[in-house]
Amino acid sequence: MTPGLADTPITTVSLTAVCLTAVCLTVPDLRKAEVFYRDALGFEVIERVDKVDRGMATALGAPDAAIACVTMRLGHQRIDLLAFDPPGRSYPAGSTSSDLWFQHCAIVVRDMAAAHAHVSAFAITPITTGGPQTLPPNTGSVSAFKFRDPFGHPFELLQFPDGIGDPSWHRPGRDALFLGIDHTAIAVSDAARSIAFYEKLGFTISSRSFNSGAEQSKLDAVVDASVVVVALSPAESPPHLELLAYQTGTRRPIPPHESAGDIALTRTVIEVDDLASLVASSNDGSHPLSATASWDRRAAYSVFDPDGHHLILRERVSAEED
């Protein structure tokens, strides 16, 4: 694993995670992926790049690779689809929701029954058994359904009851079936350790719950599922980050990646408000660090969290500069 902030002293730096800019999904076929996300989930293309620049490729851990990128937007949130040449390994067979390489994007829908019927007409693989599940009141009575896209990436559909979830999901005039990305969720081995790590990056805890029972087991396809769910919010959201600390299930660690193009290697791009201070305070020679690179022509820093999830910290862009 590339060394990162998991083994770097950053407690002296006061950071604010301004926003979770994008989730980067690696796909084996860029055109097929673009069509799926457009037709099945309502995303629209906002940019295509035939070959990303060397700085961005460095942030992705493959400075010499040929990497194409398509940026797509759903509402106000975005995903970056990455295609590597040569490609990496396929998504691991037999993956479960509790394995530590699990990372999903949760998409808010206006009507769960209609959204479930729509997405089921495409080449998805359901994770949830028995159709959409309505979770208990302690988790907001949210309706949810999890599935995998044609490449193995997990997704979740969410419908919030009135008064639950971010207020932006309940604004009048939001008539699309698929509204936007509420959060990205990662499986972690130790909730307290991961909370400490992300708090140092400027995230704050916005909610915490313990989810279990029949509905959760069906939602996750994990026998007797029990999971601590911690929502961590940047200064601006949605989307926010969720930690999933399963107490049951396979909970296998992230395997070493043979290449930066492995399909399961998902990246999360986070804007922070003082990247230069972070790099300066950490780069004292006592800890090996990932190379400073660039992302969208902005300074970026590639790091891994305690469980090996890949983060790209990007210099904040002011409203005047954006």
Q: If you average pLDDT over residues 60-86, what whole number do you get?
A: 95
Please say if the pLDDT value at position 112 is more than 80.
Answer: yes
| Contact (Cβ atoms closer than 8 angstroms) between residue 122 and residue 39 | yes
Q: Which residue has the higher pLDDT, 34 or 202?
A: 34
Residues 6+ apart with CB under 8 A from 67: 51, 52, 56, 57, 60, 82, 83, 84, 85, 261
pLDDT tens for 265-313 read: 999 999 988 877 766 655 544 333 355 677 877 888 888 999 999 999 9
The pLDDT score that the predictor gives to residue 51 is 96
User: Which tokens is 29 given?
Assistant: 């076929």
Q: If you average pLDDT over residues 130-146, what whole number do you get?
A: 92
User: Which tokens is 178 given?
Assistant: 């698929």
Confidence band for 76, pLDDT divided at 50, 70 and 90: very high
Q: Which residue has the higher pLDDT, 317 or 245?
A: 245
Closest-CA residue to 188 (of 249, 96, 253): 253
* Residues facing 69 on adjacent strands: 49, 82
The pLDDT score that the predictor gives to residue 286 is 34
Stated length of the chain = 322
H-helix or E-strand spanning residue 200: helix 191-200
The pLDDT score that the predictor gives to residue 322 is 47
9 prior amide bond cis, ω within 30: no
The pLDDT score that the predictor gives to residue 207 is 94
User: Which tokens is 208 given?
Assistant: 């915490």
Please say if the pLDDT value at position 2 is more than 60.
Answer: no
The pLDDT score that the predictor gives to residue 288 is 34
The pLDDT score that the predictor gives to residue 254 is 94
Q: Which domains are delineated in the chain?
A: 5-89+263-315 (3.10.180.10), 103-246 (3.10.180.10)
Q: How far apart are the C-alpha atoms of 125 and 87, rounded to whole Å?
A: 22
Q: If you average pLDDT over residues 61-76, what whole number do you get?
A: 95
State how far the alpha carbon of 54 is from the alpha carbons of 28, 239, 240, 254, 266, in Å: 20, 28, 29, 26, 19
Three-state DSSP at 127 gives coil
- The lowest-confidence range among 59-68, 97-106, 118-127 is 59-68
| Contact (Cβ atoms closer than 8 angstroms) between residue 225 and residue 205 | no
Q: How far apart are the C-alpha atoms of 90 and 71, rounded to whole Å?
A: 21
| Contact (Cβ atoms closer than 8 angstroms) between residue 188 and residue 100 | yes
pLDDT tens for 199-233 read: 988 899 999 999 999 999 999 999 999 999 999 99
Q: Which residue has the higher pLDDT, 64 or 182?
A: 182
Please say if the pLDDT value at position 6 is more than 60.
Answer: no
Number of H helices, E strands in the chain: 6, 17
| Side chain identity at residue 294, one-letter code | S
Confidence band for 137, pLDDT divided at 50, 70 and 90: confident
Q: If you average pLDDT over residues 116-145, what whole number do you get?
A: 95
Average pLDDT, the chain: 89
Please say if the pLDDT value at position 13 is more than 70.
Answer: no
| Contact (Cβ atoms closer than 8 angstroms) between residue 177 and residue 42 | yes
Share of the chain above pLDDT 70, in %: 89
| Contact (Cβ atoms closer than 8 angstroms) between residue 220 and residue 69 | no
Number of Cβ within a 10 Å radius of residue 292? 17
The pLDDT score that the predictor gives to residue 290 is 55
